[in-house]
């Protein structure tokens, strides 16, 4: 141990000496090219390398040799490599270091005769990173075959941070060359994106750029920097605690749980130890935070797992927040010059960053990276803020640009023309009038024009959704998604935590029924503490009840919590993604086991337990008679059922809208489900997205469904529609309509609605 400590100490001392000399070069006179040439010479001398070269990113993702010691000088500004071409291009493409003792033998090696690099066998290269993007590549080479140590590669990465500062200053390449969108940026534009939270809003762009420019990269006193880091961490933790307290006062429910998780992540030992190691290498506290941030972002940016992506966004938020505290600066959200109607535009955001902004001014949020289940979107939904994900937002939107955000259709209008503004102003006014009309129907019965009662219920997954139960006039909760509290925690919530949550849901619902769906994770909703491994087709893989049956303790704990939470009240439980009756029997047996366990301990059981299943997997359709003997009810999950019926991935843009739920095959299937359930005397409802669309809901009622569960904002439009509907006339029309071979019946159904005065 003592020998190891000595080696590390000497390595750290050498790194600090090199960084100090680089700092002097950066502070010296001369052009950017002059300083880059000096840096290359210094690196070669200090690392005893035969070659040191720096490649800088140019427009079109081309890496240009900008400076070298050891290669042919005539190749400077002439040798160019595309991203992905050669070893240098491979480093840029994957944003990761390479260290090879026999570089010419590597399959990605690209020989360029003009450089004169024939004699050099070994190569180590690192990406030059700035703002999460590769701005170039730094390379050293040796004539002999040698092994590069981990410490040498880390030193090269640290040096690359300083070169990144030189590149970012614009003295080598005009930043506009690589990132400019041209003169068209000043013209009106319509950006297409993905709707993450519905709504319409207008306002002025506030570009959220939380990262600070770091002026001093190298520190002389590591202990002093560690003290500064500790002080900034303490201040950051206090600020997060203040946000937690504010969220509690505002009654934000699950968003507060998300902040709790965020607070725990701020104490992650791995993240903090990597920052401290970088300080020991000779960086300032700010530079150390940025180095760890850049490295993590580059390594994780290609990953698609939703949980990992969410952790990366949390880390981005925390890193930026920590940099603010180190610099002693207030967040830009605290500024007094913010527009009165602001639309936040950001590459990504953490939940705490969003809450930093004045909610009275905040109109909408545009993200380059995000998903409906991301923490910031959950908080935005709780605050009723429209959210759109738009991949090129930051390159197309300038600060204070006038924006229109259409969260219903995933569109952003940048610098809209006056006629577009007037049209959207009218749309927003119409929307407001309609919402007032929908509010007026809240107390009216959900009965069709010819007297058919329809039960309208809510889909919920957050405590913040529950006030909508009374406000919307819904009769109950037809789907309570229990997975969100599992997704926002680093560890599995225990029985007591779950019991308290489910009891609060039942308390808030009062005498209105609540239907709890057991844990439905997997696919695009993985948990950090349950690894599914690599799955080629996650939507068809290890998910939902399959996880529950393979981890019976997980399912038992959830069912135990639900039974305890009910305590004398009726309980309805629904199992997701049942593919065969045997799976339902196995899940029901676990529920019965927990019910007996509860009774043996003298705890008060539910007054009544109803058990059902989701109809999502088509195989279950051929076991309906056996299934209907066992269940108390059925609920159609139209989203998954449709993708499985048509073998069409609803997450794939090329297939998501290729098939229509209002098509003959789907409507025929749904009618047969209704008929089988009616013959067995078992209720059946729909809780998928089509239940919340007025035209689709009209069709479902015509097929015989009498219970529809939907998002809170859909209740008004659907209730208004059904009160103008004559079911008998629609039923007759549907019988003849489904006999044909149409791709979609939507146009004909819309025409029927218009002809019969149905308000869709």
pLDDT in tens, 50-64: 999 999 998 878 899
For residue range 537-575, list pLDDT tens digits in order: 666 778 789 988 998 999 999 999 999 999 999 999 999
Residue 87, both tokens: 């070893």
**Catalytic residue at 375?**
yes
Neighbour-count burial for 315-345, b at 16+ CB within 10 Å, e otherwise: bbbbbbbbbbbbeeeebbbeeeebeebbbbb
pLDDT winner (highest mean) among 63-67, 468-472, 518-522: 63-67
pLDDT of residue 138: 95
pLDDT of residue 506: 95
For residue range 91-122, list pLDDT tens digits in order: 988 888 999 999 988 888 887 888 887 788 99
User: Which uninterrupted H or E stretch holds 124?
Assistant: strand 122-130
Query: pLDDT confidence of 7, banded at 50, 70, 90?
Result: very low
**Predicted confidence (pLDDT) at residue 184 exceeds the cutoff of 60:** no
pTM over 0.85: no
User: Which uninterrupted H or E stretch holds 51?
Assistant: strand 51-58
Query: pLDDT confidence of 183, banded at 50, 70, 90?
Result: very low
User: Which uninterrupted H or E stretch holds 455?
Assistant: strand 455-460
> Which single residue is written with the structure tokens 């698609």?
304
**Predicted confidence (pLDDT) at residue 230 exceeds the cutoff of 60:** yes
**Catalytic residue at 460?**
no
> Which single residue is written with the structure tokens 């090879």?
100
Q: What is the dihedral of CA 181, 182, 186, 188, to 10 degrees?
A: -70
- Higher-confidence residue of 741 and 123: namely 123
pLDDT averaged over every residue in the chain = 83
In this structure, are residues 477 and 509 in contact, taking their beta carbons and an 8 Å threshold?
yes
pLDDT of residue 12: 57
Helix, coil or strand: residue 413: strand
**Predicted confidence (pLDDT) at residue 609 exceeds the cutoff of 90:** yes
Q: Which of 377, 390, 460, 687 is catalytic?
A: 687
Q: Which of 52, 375, 390, 460 is catalytic?
A: 375
- Tell me the C-alpha distance between 471 and 547, whole Å: 36
């Amino acid at each position: 141990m003592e020998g190891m400590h000595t080696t590390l100490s000497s390595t750290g001392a050498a790194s600090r000496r090199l960084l100090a000399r680089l700092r002097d070069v950066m502070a010296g006179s001369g052009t950017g090219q002059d300083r880059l040439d000096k840096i290359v010479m210094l690196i070669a001398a200090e690392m005893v390398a035969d070659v040191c070269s720096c490649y800088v990113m140019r427009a079109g993702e081309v890496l240009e040799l900008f400076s070298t010691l050891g290669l042919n000088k005539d190749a400077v500004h002439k040798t160019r490599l595309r991203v992905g071409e050669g070893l240098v291009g491979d480093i840029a493409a994957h944003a990761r270091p390479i260290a090879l003792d026999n570089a010419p033998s590597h399959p990605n090696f690209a020989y360029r005769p003009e450089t004169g690099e024939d004699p050099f066998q070994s190569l180590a290269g690192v990406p030059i990173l700035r703002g999460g993007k590769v701005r170039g590549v730094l390379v050293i080479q040796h004539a002999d075959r040698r092994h590069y140590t981990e410490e040498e590669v880390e030193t090269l990465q640290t040096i690359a941070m300083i070169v990144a500062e030189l590149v970012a200053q614009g003295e080598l390449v005009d930043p506009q060359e690589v990132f400019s969108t041209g003169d068209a940026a000043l013209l009106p534009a319509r950006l297409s994106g993905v709707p993450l939270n519905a709504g319409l809003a207008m306002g002025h762009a506030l570009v959220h750029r939380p990262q600070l420019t770091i002026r001093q990269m190298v520190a002389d006193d590591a202990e002093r920097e560690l003290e500064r880091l500790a002080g900034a961490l303490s201040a950051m933790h206090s600020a997060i605690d203040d946000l937690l307290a504010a969220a509690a006062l505002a009654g934000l429910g699950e968003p507060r749980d998300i902040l709790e998780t965020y607070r725990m992540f701020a104490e992650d030992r791995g993240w903090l130890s990597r920052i401290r190691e970088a300080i020991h290498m000779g960086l300032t506290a700010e530079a150390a935070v940025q180095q760890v941030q850049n490295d993590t972002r580059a390594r994780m940016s290609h990953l698609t797992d939703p949980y990992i992506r969410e952790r990366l966004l949390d880390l981005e938020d925390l890193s930026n927040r920590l940099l603010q505290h180190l610099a002693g600066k207030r967040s830009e959200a605290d500024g007094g010059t913010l527009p009165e109607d602001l639309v936040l535009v950001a590459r990504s955001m953490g939940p705490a960053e969003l809450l930093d902004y004045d909610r009275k001014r905040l109109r909408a949020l545009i993200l380059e990276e995000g998903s409906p289940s991301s923490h910031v979107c959950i908080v935005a939904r709780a605050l009723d803020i429209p959210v759109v994900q738009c991949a090129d937002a930051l390159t197309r939107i300038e600060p204070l640009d006038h924006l229109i955000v259409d969260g219903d259709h995933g569109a952003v209008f940048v610098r809209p023309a006056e006629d577009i503004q007037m049209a959207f102003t009218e749309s927003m006014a119409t929307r407001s009038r309609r919402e007032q009309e929908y509010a007026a129907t809240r107390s009216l019965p959900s009965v069709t024009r010819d007297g058919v009662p329809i039960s309208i219920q809510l889909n919920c997954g957050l405590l913040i959704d529950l006030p909508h139960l009374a406000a919307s006039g819904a009769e109950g909760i037809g789907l309570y998604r229990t997975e969100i509290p599992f997704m926002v925690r680093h560890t599995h919530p225990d029985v007591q935590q779950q019991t308290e949550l489910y009891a609060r849901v039942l308390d808030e619902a009062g005498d209105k029924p609540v239907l709890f769906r057991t844990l439905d994770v997997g696919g695009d909703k993985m948990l950090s503490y349950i690894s599914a491994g690599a799955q080629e087709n996650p939507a068809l893989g290890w998910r939902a009840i399959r996880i529950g049956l393979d981890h019976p303790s997980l399912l038992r704990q959830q069912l135990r919590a639900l039974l305890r939470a009910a305590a004398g009240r009726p309980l309805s439980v629904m199992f997701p993604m049942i593919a065969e009756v045997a799976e339902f029997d196995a899940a029901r047996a676990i529920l019965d086991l927990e019910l007996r366990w509860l009774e043996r301990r003298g705890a008060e059981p539910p007054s009544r337990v109803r058990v059902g299943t989701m109809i999502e997997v088509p195989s279950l359709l051929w076991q309906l008679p056996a299934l209907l003997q066992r269940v108390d009810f059925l609920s159609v999950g139209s989203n998954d059922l449709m993708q499985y019926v048509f073998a069409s991935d609803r997450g794939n843009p090329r297939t998501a809208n290729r098939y229509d739920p209002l098509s003959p095959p789907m409507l025929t299937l749904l009618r047969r489900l209704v008929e089988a359930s009616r013959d067995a005397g078992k209720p059946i409802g729909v809780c998928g997205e089509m239940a919340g669309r007025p035209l689709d809901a009209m069709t479902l009622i015509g097929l015989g469904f009498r219970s529809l569960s939907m998002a809170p904002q859909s209740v008004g439009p659907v209730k208004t529609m059904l009160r103008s509907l004559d079911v008998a006339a629609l039923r007759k029309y549907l019988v003849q309509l489904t006999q044909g071979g149409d791709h979609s019946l939507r146009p004909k159904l819309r025409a029927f609605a218009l002809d019969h005065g149905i308000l869709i």
